[in-house]
């Protein structure tokens, strides 16, 4: 019998995804890897999967029933292009090539266009959930054509995570839409992780708590409105004790955060789209700052506050609750900004992205999975044309309830000299968004002064310029500037 689906690239994510596919009723899975020894290893380790192992790409194509469907799970970038080229040689019109890696969405747009010219379908699919998700059920964000989704949809639904009875996969939109949404997912992941890290840092440095005590706090928080995978694993990381030294694991890890690029892409793309994803940007910058050890060493003697506020033991519970509320409020901003980027991207690239469906497929399987996503899905279901997520009734109520605590935490952090860039910038964004008047009017005045960049008036249509170096009278512009 031939296979109905194939996987190319058998590193951990690829082999786990292949095993997941093989474990579902009705699937027969062909596998191919650049080095045959790895294929043999995976096939021998998992006899239950009944893989059809292909030695060459030709053999791989022959082992698939038509329309052939193959998921590529290789490193994003050149390796992906190389595999696509190979598959295009041996596949036929109507077949489907899926890229399941973390590709940059503009690469996916380019690849989809090129592959489509051969009559073969190309689908860029974001897959979230790490190794565990790939094996037991990830959240999947496919782009590509309707035609490809018709064949691919049932297969992806069979392996996706399930949230409240619904598979965590939806046809996000055409060409690069899936990888775009996966990129934003990762941007939100960065912000969420940084916010959690700031909460930890405050409890540690401002409230003087131990990692084990803080683990207990996160365990508690995971029972309430913050319930999420990232909060859950944070408690586990903080509980961990290093076997070699007996110290908390967190204290033996070098404090320099790495990254593979998706957070940076989210910010770069959002800058181009004009979307202020400030919380995500601060998360990316916080990782960059951490990764400059020589600069940090050079600055390590610079002074902090001379009289940092102390959190007394009687104030501790109130402080912990304030930090919880600040975390929740900032998290709402991170998601609100992420959905803004999705809306702007959909507009720019012509994708019909259903925001509520995205929130739904993020409820399980992916790294940012959380209770909270249900509230986002409901908000978009009730108000499909919501201007900004934070203004949805549910979130507006949540922010009104938490904003005083949020302010207290940022004030405390600043006074104590504990850096909370994501907490602080989220609050600044919130205050900017709700402000009746912004000092942008002054910026416009400055721009008009030095560059005759013109301004609009609050009381009249038209475009105006003041003759700053002349008699300072106002002229109405007729031409375009």
Enumerate binding residues for ligand 6PG (CB under 6 A). Answer: 102, 128-130, 186, 189, 258-260, 262-263, 366-367
261 vs 445, which CB is nearer to ligand 6PG?
261
CB 125 within 8 A of CB 99: yes
Tell me, yes or no, if 113 is annotated catalytic: no
Kindly state the smallest distance separating residue 283's Cβ from ligand 6PG, in Å: 10
Nearer to ligand 6PG by Cβ, of 217 and 342: the residue is: 342
Annotated binding residues for NADP(+): 9-14, 33-35, 74-76, 102
Active site residue 189: yes
Nearer residue to ligand 6PG within complex by CB, 258 or 304: 258
CB-based contacts of 8: which residues, under 8 Å, 6+ apart?
14, 31, 32, 33, 60, 70, 71, 72, 73, 74, 83, 87
CB of 377 to ligand 6PG, least distance (A): 19
Q: Closest distance between ligand 6PG and the C-beta of residue 142, in Å?
A: 14
Binding positions for substrate are 102, 128-130, 185-186, 190, 260, 287, 447, 453
Residue number with CB closer to ligand 6PG (150 or 260): 260
Please state, in angstroms and rounded to a whole number, the distance separating the CA atoms of residues 226 and 222: 6
DSSP for 107-124, written as a single string: HHHHHHHHHHTTT-EEEE
Q: What residue number has its CB nearest to ligand 6PG?
A: 128
Residue with tokens 């012509």: 350
Token pair of 289 as six digits: 């700052």
Neighbours of 366 (CB within 10 A): 28
Query: In 3D, which of 413, 440, 417 has the Cα closest to residue 427?
Result: 413
Encode burial over 73-105: b for 16+ CB neighbours within 10 A, e otherwise.
Answer: bbebeeebbebbebbbebbeeebbbbbbbbbbb
**CA distance linking residue 229 with residue 408, whole number of Å:** 27
Closest CB 261 distance from ligand 6PG, rounded Å: 6
Distance in angstroms (rounded) separating the CA atoms of residues 201 and 477: 53
Contact 101, 80 (CB under 8 A): yes
**Closest to ligand 6PG by CB, 368 or 413:** 368
Catalytic site residue from 41, 78, 132, 182: 182
Catalytically annotated residue among 28, 112, 189, 360: 189
Helices 146-159 and 12-23 meet at what angle, rounded to 10?
80
Residue with smaller CB distance to ligand 6PG, 128 or 330 = 128
Nearest by Cα to 325 from 435, 400, 239: 400
State the Cα–Cα distance between residues 38 and 415, nearest whole angstrom. 55
Minimum distance from CB of 135 to ligand 6PG (Å)?
Answer: 12
Task: Find how far residue 60's CA is from the centre of its chain.
Answer: 33
Q: Nearer to ligand 6PG by C-beta: 319 or 335?
A: 335
Do residues 362 and 373 lie in contact, with contact meaning Cβ atoms separated by under 8 Å? yes
Cα-based distances in Å from 103 to 73, 183, 185, 265, 289: 11, 9, 13, 10, 25
Binding residue numbers: 9-14, 33-35, 74-76, 102, 128-130, 185-186, 190, 260, 287, 447, 453
Location of structure tokens 């489907």: 96
Q: Can you tell me which residue has the tokens 């013109």?
A: 454
Catalytic residues: 182, 189
């Amino acid at each position: 019998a031939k296979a109905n689906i194939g996987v190319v690239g058998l590193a951990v994510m690829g082999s786990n995804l292949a095993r997941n596919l093989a474990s579902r009723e009705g699937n027969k899975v062909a596998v191919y890897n650049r080095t045959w020894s790895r294929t043999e290893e995976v096939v021998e380790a998992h006899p239950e999967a009944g893989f059809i192992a292909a030695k060459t790409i030709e053999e791989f194509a022959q082992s698939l029933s038509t329309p052939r469907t193959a998921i590529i799970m290789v490193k994003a970038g050149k390796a992906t292009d190389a595999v696509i080229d190979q598959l295009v040689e041996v596949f036929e019109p109507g077949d489907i090539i899926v890229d399941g890696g973390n590709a940059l969405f503009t690469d996916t747009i380019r690849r989809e266009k090129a592959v489509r010219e051969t009559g073969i379908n190309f689908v860029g699919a974001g897959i979230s959930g790490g190794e565990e998700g790939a094996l037991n059920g990830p959240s999947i964000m496919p782009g590509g054509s309707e035609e490809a989704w018709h064949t691919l949809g049932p297969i992806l639904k069979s392996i996706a995570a399930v949230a409240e009875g619904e598979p965590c996969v939806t046809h996000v939109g055409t060409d690069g839409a899936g990888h775009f949404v996966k990129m934003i997912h990762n941007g939100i992941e960065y912000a969420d992780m940084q916010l959690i890290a700031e909460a930890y840092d405050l409890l540690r440095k401002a409230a003087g708590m131990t990692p084990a005590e803080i683990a207990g706090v996160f365990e508690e928080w995971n029972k309430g409105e913050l319930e999420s995978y990232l909060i859950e694993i944070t408690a586990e990381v903080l509980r961990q004790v290093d076997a070699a030294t007996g110290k908390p694991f967190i204290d033996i890890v070098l404090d320099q955060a790495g990254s593979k690029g998706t957070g940076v892409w989210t910010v770069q793309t959002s800058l181009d789209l004009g979307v202020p994803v400030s919380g995500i940007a601060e998360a990316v910058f916080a990782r960059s700052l951490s990764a400059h050890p020589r600069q940090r060493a050079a600055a390590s003697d610079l002074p902090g506050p001379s009289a940092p506020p102390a959190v007394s033991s009687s104030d501790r519970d109130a402080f912990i609750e304030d930090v919880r509320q600040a975390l929740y409020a900032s998290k709402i901003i991170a998601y609100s900004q992420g959905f803004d980027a999705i809306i702007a991207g959909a507009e720019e690239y012509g994708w019909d992205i259903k925001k509520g469906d995205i929130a739904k497929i993020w409820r399980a399987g992916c790294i940012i999975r959380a209770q909270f996503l249900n509230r986002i899905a409901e908000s978009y279901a009730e108000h499909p044309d919501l201007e900004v997520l934070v203004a949805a009734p549910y979130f507006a109520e949540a922010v009104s309830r938490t904003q005083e605590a949020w302010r207290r935490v940022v004030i405390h952090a600043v006074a104590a000299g504990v850096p909370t860039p994501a907490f602080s910038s989220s609050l600044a964004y919130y205050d900017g968004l709700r402000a009746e008047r912004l000092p942008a009017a002054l910026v416009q005045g400055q721009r008009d002064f030095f560059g005759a960049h013109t301004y609009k008036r609050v009381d009249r249509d038209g475009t105006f310029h003041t003759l700053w170096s002349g008699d300072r009278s106002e002229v109405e512009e007729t031409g375009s500037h």
